[in-house]
Amino acid sequence: MDELLDNPLATIAEAIRTKKTTSLAVTRGFLDRIDMVNPALNALVYSTAEQALKLAEKADLALKNQEPPGKLHGVPITIKDSLDTKDAITTWGTLGRKDFRPGRDATCVARLRDAGAIIMGKTNTPEFTMSFQTSNLVYGTTKNPFDTQRTSGGSSGGAAALIAANATPMDIGTDTGGSIRLPCHFCGIAGIKPTTGRVPCTGNALPSSGLYAPLTQPGPMARYVDDLRFILDIIQGPDNVDPHCVPGATYECDDVKTMRIAYHLDNGICTPTDSITSTLASIVDFMKREGFTLSEARPTGLEMAGLIFPRVIGADGEVLKALLEDSRTDTVSPNLKPSIGHTRQEPSAAEIAQTINLWHNYQSSMLGFFDDFDLLICPVNARTAHKHDEHEDLNAYTYTSAYNLTGWPGAVIRAGQDELNLPIGVQIIAAPFREDRCLTMAKWLETNLSTFAPPPVYAGRQELEAQT
């Protein structure tokens, strides 16, 4: 059983569907893993274990009765606590919702359940997802499985930490400024932020209305690139609720070696650490030796990301005020206080109009990049996982937020490690609705790069399993 749980989602689902194992056995296996690693991580913050086991038994009975299975029939998963779940408390990381049950699922959650998935519990998120560290006043701080003195990233840090420890096969993150890609980089897993409008945001903590709603996208996080494609196919498409979600075109990627690939090791805003730069440089050299054609280039206008992103966030201060009021939250998490303080400056109508104009011009300028290139390879962040509450240089996060502003898809996989054995990710960016190119390139790299050691928390779990 332990060997099966280390496999991609499709393999686990097929084993259940063909009755080589049972949903109950798989669910018990992952719940046991959660019990072993979660005390060190604080990644799973609300367990639905008892209900999950009952649903697993029902899934096995359905197969026995020859009921048609879905793509994820009987597969246990976890869900980020910013996404509503009808049968489990969903706090959005805010005290006013610490006992709140939404009574309905977020659209992407409903689609996973319709495909047969079983939810084992909710993973931690900062308040309203508005931080690059995963900590809140409801559940506390999530720790990085490679070093529990360090952050797992935010805002999908609970999901990333649990996946890295291989205690859940997948989760759904949400990404407004890097909240899928950053935790993947910090924790050494795979993830993708889809194109703006590919996946509905309905039922997420940040609403699908307001000025910066188009920044946010739910997306899959997992250990394998194949899992990202598998999940994205299930959760994508309009739900006739999210006004930004559109019928996205679906493409089949060309031969990966015929694609025009650009790369940069420095975005001109914040220079990465030497270990990140050298890791990505070695990937570029390796790809050239393998016959790829790569050109060093940056999209025109990229240098404006650090100016525009905080202005867009600050221009719609009513969103956070409304969320606090609707949630009946009186005490705000320390991570959220700077955002609340900034929004009190109340930008004028002229300033908001100027921000929208800057943003749209930035999008237009950046799009011309795809006249010459099919893919962009670059860092995910300027540094690896830092210690909890350590000072953050927000310019380091422009490697992700730049592409929330454009709405382009971006995948991340592990590419190496630094001198402290902390993971280093590589980011693969493509034109709107060309997730196929991101994932095909990510799969090629995953297949051809060296494998990496699992986190110490994972190794400790293996030792405990061996003893039992």
The tens digit of pLDDT for each residue in 356-387 reads 999 999 999 999 999 999 999 999 999 999 99
* Contact yes or no for 130/320 (Cβ under 8 A): yes
pTM for the model stands at 0.96
Q: Which residues lie below 8 Å from residue 310, measured CB to CB, with a gap of 6+?
A: 342, 394
| Amino acid identity at 260 | R
pLDDT greater than 60 at residue 344: no
What pLDDT is recorded for position 343? 46
What pLDDT is recorded for position 220? 98
10 Å CB burial of residue 372 (0-12, 13-18, 19+) is exposed
What pLDDT is recorded for position 2? 81
Average pLDDT estimate for 442-454: 94
pLDDT greater than 80 at residue 448: yes
Residue 387: φ, ψ to 5°: -70, 155
pLDDT greater than 90 at residue 458: no
Residue ranges of the alpha helices (H) in 290-348? Answer: 305-315, 318-327, 337-343
CA 13, CA 19: separation in Å to the nearest integer?
10
* pLDDT single digits (tens) 193-210: 999 999 999 999 999 999
What pLDDT is recorded for position 461? 59
10 Å CB burial of residue 133 (0-12, 13-18, 19+) is buried
pLDDT greater than 80 at residue 234: yes
| Averaged pLDDT of the chain | 95
10 Å CB burial of residue 84 (0-12, 13-18, 19+) is buried
Percent of the chain at pLDDT > 70 equals 97
- CA-based nearest residue to 83, from 45, 30, 120, 125: 125
* pLDDT single digits (tens) 24-45: 999 999 999 999 999 999 999 9
* Contact yes or no for 125/173 (Cβ under 8 A): no
In the structure, what pLDDT confidence band is assigned to residue 306 with cuts at 50, 70 and 90?
Answer: very high
In the structure, what pLDDT confidence band is assigned to residue 224 with cuts at 50, 70 and 90?
Answer: very high
Average pLDDT estimate for 225-241: 97
In the structure, what pLDDT confidence band is assigned to residue 341 with cuts at 50, 70 and 90?
Answer: low
What pLDDT is recorded for position 253? 81
Active-site residues, by number, are 80, 155, 179
> What are the b/e assignments for 376-386, b being 16+ CB within 10 Å?
bbbbbbbbbbb
What pLDDT is recorded for position 77? 98
Best-predicted range by mean pLDDT among 207-211, 217-221, 340-344?
A: 217-221
pLDDT greater than 80 at residue 346: no
What pLDDT is recorded for position 465? 57
Kindly list the structural domains of the chain, giving each domain's residue range(s) and its CATH number in brackets, ordered by start. Answer: 2-467 (3.90.1300.10)
Residues β-bridged to residue 121: 47
* pLDDT single digits (tens) 132-165: 999 999 999 999 999 999 999 999 999 999 999 9
pLDDT greater than 50 at residue 217: yes
- CA-based nearest residue to 380, from 403, 359, 364, 362: 403
In the structure, what pLDDT confidence band is assigned to residue 295 with cuts at 50, 70 and 90?
Answer: very high
* pLDDT single digits (tens) 58-102: 999 999 999 999 999 999 999 999 999 999 999 999 999 999 999
In the structure, what pLDDT confidence band is assigned to residue 451 with cuts at 50, 70 and 90?
Answer: confident
Q: Quick one: DSSP state of residue 195?
A: P
Residue 31: φ, ψ to 5°: -65, -35
